[in-house]
């Protein structure tokens, strides 16, 4: 039994009302504590933004260039990511269990690049996600695709179990070759993901009207990287996306296929977390990569 506490002076501070503020992320104030805590392991509470490093490509296209040896190419730079987006196979086989940053786990899959990619199923039991202590799961949603309804059902099933376990779901808007990546389509796809329960959504950037995509989505939007661009172009795209309302980026090839991946991810952080202009971040990239400054 603890001794009785008989002190008269207690630190209740009745003159200071307890704060009942919401949460720093859009749309997240009403979530349970565990779900908000997990989101705060992906999004930096100070900047409100995230730099996720996507390395899950192998789940449908095998050993992608830059990911042939994740232990050699990714593990050393993973400290610069707010969260790694990857499969459970790669996590368990290759990522040290003392990794301290966020984990966003690929939870859908099935078809390879040789088949119709929209024909995905849930590929992860949420109990296993909880066992791996992940901070969110990611599911592909193929709005307009052949298996649109199936992919949306994959997401809603994960959302249902996610609420029971406190694990957020990232809806990833997959754009088939036949679909146009304009603000109208991306606005449709992101909004559907949010309406049906995704706690955050990943989508591509579009030059015209991206601010309408982010404004029309009631939960945070993270920008997908897409195919490899020149470093300055990728940094410019990230700057534009964040300026137009994105809560961060989830980039893969534009980081791990860069000539200097460690330098590139740190330059992306400068843009996303510190508000750097693309040219400033590009100079930083060149400096870290041991290159001479860019010509004025
Ligand atoms: C997106 O659909 C998948 O999760 C990809 O494997 C990955 O996120 C793509 O990343 P990036 O296009 O930036 O290489």
DSSP notation for 231-249 = HHHHHHHHHHHHHTT--EE
pLDDT for residue 1: 65
Residue 110 three-state SS: coil
Q: How many residues make up the chain in this entry?
A: 296
Q: CA-to-CA distance for 173 and 176, rounded, in angstroms? A: 10
Beta strands (DSSP E) in the chain are 50-54, 83-86, 102-106, 108-109, 121-122, 136-141, 169-173, 200-203, 221-224, 248-251
pLDDT for residue 116: 84
Q: What is the mean pLDDT of the chain?
A: 93
Q: List the one residue out of 153, 272, 170 whose CA is nearest residue 220.
A: 170
Segments in the chain below pLDDT 50: none
Helix axes 33-42, 148-165, angle to 10 degrees: 110
Check if 54 has its Cβ closer than 6 Å to any atom of ligand 1: yes
Q: How remote is the CA of residue 294 from the centroid of ligand 1, in Å?
A: 29
Contact 229, 203 (CB under 8 A): no
Q: How remote is the CA of residue 34 from the centroid of ligand 1, in Å?
A: 27
Q: CA-to-CA distance for 70 and 94, rounded, in angstroms? A: 7
Nearest CA to ligand 1 atom 4: 56
Q: CA-to-CA distance for 93 and 70, rounded, in angstroms? A: 10
Instruction: Name the CATH architecture for the domain at 33-261.
Output: Alpha-Beta Barrel (3.20)
- Residue 45 CB coordination number (10 Å): 11
**Atom of ligand 1 minimally distant from the CA of 256:** 14
Contact 247, 253 (CB under 8 A): no
Check if 172 has its Cβ closer than 6 Å to any atom of ligand 1: yes
- What does the pLDDT look like over 136-186, one tens digit per residue? 999 999 998 899 999 999 999 999 999 999 999 999 998 877 778 899 999
pLDDT for residue 292: 75
pTM score, whole prediction: 0.93
Check if 117 has its Cβ closer than 6 Å to any atom of ligand 1: no
- Residue 242 CB coordination number (10 Å): 21
pLDDT for residue 296: 58
Tell whether the torsion through CA atoms of 79, 24, 267 and 209 is positive or negative: positive
Which one-letter DSSP state was computed for residue 12?
-
Interior CA angle at 263 toward 259 and 265, to 5°?
100
pLDDT for residue 118: 86
Helix (H) or strand (E) holding 183: helix 183-195
Q: Of these residues, 26, 202, 212, 227, which one is catalytic?
A: 202
Check if 174 has its Cβ closer than 6 Å to any atom of ligand 1: yes
Tokens of 174: 């997959």
């Amino acid at each position: 039994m603890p001794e009785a506490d008989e002190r008269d002076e207690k630190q209740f501070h009745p003159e200071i009302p307890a704060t009942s503020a919401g949460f720093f992320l859009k749309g997240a104030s009403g979530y349970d504590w565990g779900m908000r805590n997990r989101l705060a392991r992906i999004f930096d509470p100070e900047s409100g933004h995230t730099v996720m490093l996507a390395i899950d490509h192998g789940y449908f296209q095998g050993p992608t260039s830059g990911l042939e040896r994740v232990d050699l190419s990714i593990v050393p730079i993973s400290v610069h990511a707010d969260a790694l987006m990857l499969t459970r196979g790669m996590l368990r086989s290759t990522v040290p269990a003392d990794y301290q940053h966020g984990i966003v786990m690929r939870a859908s899959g099935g078809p390879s690049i040789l088949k119709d990619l929209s024909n995905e199923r849930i590929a992860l039991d949420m109990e296993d996600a909880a066992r791996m202590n992940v901070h969110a799961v990611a599911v592909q949603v193929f709005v307009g695709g052949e298996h649109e309804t199936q992919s949306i059902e994959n997401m809603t099933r994960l959302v249902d179990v996610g609420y029971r376990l406190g694990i957020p779901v990232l809806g990833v808007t997959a754009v088939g070759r036949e679909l146009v990546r304009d603000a109208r389509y991306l606005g449709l796809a992101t909004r559907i993901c949010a309406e049906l329960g995704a706690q955050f959504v990943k989508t591509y950037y579009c030059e015209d009207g991206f601010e309408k995509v982010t404004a029309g989505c009631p939960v945070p939007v993270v920008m997908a990287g897409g195919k490899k661009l020149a470093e300055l172009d990728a940094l410019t795209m990230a700057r534009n996306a964040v300026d137009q309302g994105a809560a961060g980026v989830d980039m893969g090839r534009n980081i791990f296929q860069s000539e200097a991946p460690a330098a590139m991810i740190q330059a992306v952080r400068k843009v996303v977390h510190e508000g750097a202009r693309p040219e400033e971040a590009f100079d930083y990239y060149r400096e870290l990569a041991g290159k001479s400054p860019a010509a004025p």
